[in-house]
Amino acid sequence: MAARLDARRLAKLVHSFRELRLLVLGDVVLDEYLWGDVERVSPEAPVPVVHVQRESMVLGGAGNVVRNVIALGAACDFCTAVGDDRAGERVLELLAALGVDARGSVRVAERPTTRKTRVVARSQQIVRFDRETSEALPTSAARALLAAIDHFAPRAHGAIVEDYGKGTLAAGTVRAAMRKLQAHGVPVAVDPKEDLSPYRGASLVKPNLREAEALAGMRIRSNADLAKAALRLRRKLGGAAVVVTRGAEGMALFEGDGSGCFVGTPRREVFDVQGAGDTTIAALSLALRAGGSLLEAAVVANAAAGVVVGKVGTATATPDEVLEALPAAIAAAKGEPR
């Protein structure tokens, strides 16, 4: 199967991203970073003293999927919920800077905006502080979110549902959202947290290996186990394609009832795996909507994720970076020496 990969066709798919618009639905996170250096240990406790040199904020969670879709050249709408707080205002400012329509962001006074603050020294994360809630949205906020989906779905070529377990995607809200997206003929790719049942009718699901075990309710110790787990997931979703990400081992693709296709990924120097899954589902969805096969989409996604893990922090990949990484990704998919 991998022998049919053609570099020029894959490059054409990447160039086609600029013609697409995706709708992303899910939990947004405000990722804050304190960047500094460590020169000594505190005299007050056995902990490093970080001399903070700069601070930065970026969109994380489903917001990082939005960042990746836009960085890859496509347009994007975003349906999410934020608190009526300063962190929520900052999320809206970051979305506006990306050109994302604010009408998809529902402000909820009763809940905080999810915020994760990381302290990074010499490219290593030292500690993280989380401010969040996992409670479901109030009924009025859930209705406003569904109304936003109705507004944006008619112009979407595809949708990505990104569940980080922060309450935006309660089961009832997801089921209603899936009905609306299906009514508009929008294919849906899902990155689920725990339960697949609300996502029945999705066209693709992308768990990592640990998530695939949990979702399928079985241990995965071999490729045969993985194929069995994927079949369970496909049946739960009504026949969706399953892409299981396996870190340095690449991806496993399942479209039928067979053993699947295993796609290798290039060896690379890894600085930070944070957000690589967001890059993967963004690139997978765009390549599929551009007309690529699942295999072609996986190779493009491997190239994009390879770019991102070579950066520190919540990062994205540009079309030029993906195009540069494609030859190595194609070679790895074909099992050629790397």
What percent of the chain clears pLDDT 90, i.e. is strictly above it? 79
Q: How many residues does the chain have?
A: 338
What residue ranges define each of the domains in the chain, with the CATH number in brackets? 2-36+53-333 (3.40.1190.20)
Average pLDDT, the chain: 91
In the predicted structure, residue 222 carries a pLDDT above the cut 80 = yes
Higher-confidence residue of 314 and 253: namely 253
> What pLDDT score does 1 carry?
47
Q: Which CB contacts under 8 angstroms, 24+ apart, belong to 130-139? A: 131/87, 132/29, 132/166, 133/166, 133/167, 134/165, 134/166, 134/167, 135/111, 135/167, 136/167, 136/170, 136/173, 137/81, 137/106, 137/108, 137/111, 137/167, 137/168, 137/170, 137/173, 138/108, 138/110
Confidence of residue 137 (pLDDT cuts 50, 70, 90): very high
Say yes or no to pLDDT of 338 above 70. no
Q: How many CB atoms lie within 10 A of CB 95?
A: 23
pLDDT at residue number 113: 96
Q: What is the CA radius of gyration of the chain?
A: 20
Q: How many CB atoms lie under 10 A from the CB of residue 4?
A: 10
Exactly one of 31, 225, 278, 320 is catalytic; name it: 278
Q: H/E element holding 228? A: helix 223-237
Task: Tell me which of 270 and 110 has the higher pLDDT.
Answer: 110
Verify whether residue 278 is a known catalytic residue: yes
What percent of the chain lies above the pLDDT cut of 70?
Answer: 94
Both structure tokens of 146: 């569904």
Measure the CA dihedral 113/189/211/266, to 10°.
Answer: -110
Euclidean distance between CA atoms 92 and 100, whole angstroms: 9
Question: Tens digits of per-residue pLDDT, 162-202?
Answer: 998 899 999 999 999 999 999 999 999 998 877 899 999 99
Kindly state the tokens that stand for 263: 């796609």
Say what the pLDDT of residue 31 is. 93
pLDDT of res. 269? 54
Q: Are the CB atoms for 13 and 86 separated by under 8 Å? A: no
In tens, the pLDDT along 80-119 reads 999 999 999 999 999 999 999 999 999 999 899 999 999 9
- Determine the residue type at 26: G
Quickly tell me which residue has 């993967």 as its tokens: 280
Alpha-carbon torsion angle 60, 61, 63, 66, nearest 10 = 110
How many whole angstroms separate alpha carbon 27 and alpha carbon 99? 19
Asked whether residue 2 carries a pLDDT value surpassing 90, the answer given is: no
| The pLDDT value given to residue 265 | 84
Tens digits of residue pLDDT in 271-316: 445 668 899 999 999 999 999 999 999 999 999 998 988 776 667 8
Q: What is the pLDDT of residue 315?
A: 77
Q: How many CB atoms lie within 10 A of CB 77?
A: 23
Q: What does the pLDDT average to over 248-272?
A: 78
